[in-house]
Amino acid sequence: MAMPLRQSLKVATYLAEQKVRGREKFPLIVELEPLYACNLKCEGCGKIQHPAGVLKQRMPVAQAVGAVLECGAPMVSIAGGEPLMHPQIDEIVRQLVARRKYVFLCTNAVLLRKKMDRFTPSPYFAFAVHIDGLRERHDESVAKEGVFDEAVAAIEEAKRRGFRVTTNSTFFNTDTPQTVIEVLNYLNDDLKVDEMMISPAYAYEKAPDQEHFLGVEQTRELFRKAFAGGNRRRWRLNHSPLFLDFLEGRADFPCTAWAIPNYSLFGWQRPCYLMSDGYVPTYRELVEETDWEKYGRGKDPRCANCMAHCGYEPTAVLATMGSLKESLRAMRETVAGSKG
């Protein structure tokens, strides 16, 4: 994986501390949603289905930062909605970076070039741009022409200014191994983004398009073929080796959604951001009062086809930490990625 060595060491130290403390459930990365409003209507997302009054709300800076500090996660993924629509998003980022949290600001990049001056490059900060295919495919997925070209221009400008830039690509049952290869080759070789995250489209309950989510076997076949021929080793993928094994069907894990909790305008969401079984005001209540055993494939029918990173990447990370062989394997790939 291409995670920077400094970040990898901090995460490894954090995980070791949790083991010493005897904590069974703890956050690895928190998904922070300071707003639900967005400037696009992506077919695979249901965030803008909220009532108009909710879409107008913006989370105060102190509340956003306080939630991150409350749970103690070393990494933060700021999503939404579109975070760049939040009038104080730069202050949220600044305060989290000042506390040495690794912050990924997820964005569709439509506003990125206009807002970029408000941010400062830092090893603790990265823009995470959503790219779900090449031009035609991406613009179709976000239901608006020209978004791909704007995202590419924004990525190039951010790289020129010294920002770390990662990407997040979601793949649907309309994708083929070739379309996966084409977009990841472009991001890796042409745009030269720092690292890439990939995810099979998950059955998000409120998404307008319910017909194109991937099943488990479809996911395994798609990534097994896309990863062939050395692509998996060559691409700067921001995933643990065991999670990539999981996507290929070479390994299987239970869901550990408690390790990537979601905090939004409504509070801490049960059990993850893909499902809404209620909200609680504190992370402690989320962890201690949620019946985690009833969720996951084979337990809850809503989880039947989910292979999303929010449930299974942390399981893979914990399995890596529990195995000397897998830890050495991950270390080798981290060092290789840092040289790439």
pLDDT at 210 over 70: no
pLDDT at 203: 58
Q: Mind listing the pLDDT tens digit for each residue in 15-32?
A: 889 989 999 999 999 999
| Cβ-based neighbours of 7, under 8 Å, separated by 6 or more | 75, 102, 123
Q: How far apart are CA 273 and CA 306, in angstroms?
A: 12
| Angle between helix 324-339 and 5-21 (nearest 10) | 160
The span from the first CA to the last CA of the chain, in angstroms, equals 11
The overall pTM is greater than 0.85: yes
Beta strand segments in 143-186, E: 164-171
Q: How far apart are CA 164 and CA 195, in angstroms?
A: 9
Q: Mind listing the pLDDT tens digit for each residue in 62-96?
A: 999 999 999 999 999 999 899 999 999 999 999 99
With b meaning 16 or more CB within 10 Å and e meaning fewer, what string describes 152-187? Answer: bebbeebbeeebbbbbbbbbbeebebebbbbbbebb
By C-alpha distance, which of 84, 99, 76, 95 is closest to 30?
76
The pair of three-digit structure tokens given for residue 34, joined into one six-digit string: 């300071």
| Cβ-based neighbours of 30, under 8 Å, separated by 6 or more | 67, 68, 71, 73, 75, 76, 77, 260, 261, 262, 263
By C-alpha distance, which of 258, 311, 313 is closest to 287?
258
CA angle (106 as vertex; 66, 17 as ends), nearest 5: 50
| Cβ-based neighbours of 250, under 8 Å, separated by 6 or more | none
Mean local confidence (pLDDT), 178-204: 91
pLDDT at 5: 76
Q: How far apart are CA 252 and CA 319, in angstroms?
A: 11
pLDDT at 251 over 50: yes
The answer to whether 291 and 327 are in contact (CB under 8 A) is no
Q: Mind listing the pLDDT tens digit for each residue in 105-141?
A: 999 999 999 999 999 999 999 999 999 999 999 999 8
pLDDT at 298 over 50: yes
